Amino acid sequence: MDTFDEAVRQEPDAHPLVYSDRGFQYTSAQFYTRLKKHHMKQSMSRVAHCIDNGPMEGFWGIAA
């Protein structure tokens, strides 16, 4: 959560769409509460539909 908090501190007026996988840290109540507090929305892949993640993986392959 430290990275999330630092990003909010640096860009307090940003309200991004946060894309994540279904890792425990992104599905936790603590993370969800932080998103709501800062008026952010979350997007994540559906359970058992790994193809949902393909476009984002492609993006990071180009961006890196």
The reported pLDDT for the residue numbered 64 is 63
What average pLDDT score do residues 41-54 get?
Answer: 75
The reported pLDDT for the residue numbered 61 is 80
pLDDT tens, residue by residue, 8-46: 999 999 988 888 878 888 899 999 999 999 999 998 877
Answer yes or no: is pLDDT of 3 > 80.
yes
Instruction: State how far Cα 54 lies from the chain centre.
Output: 15
pTM over 0.85: no
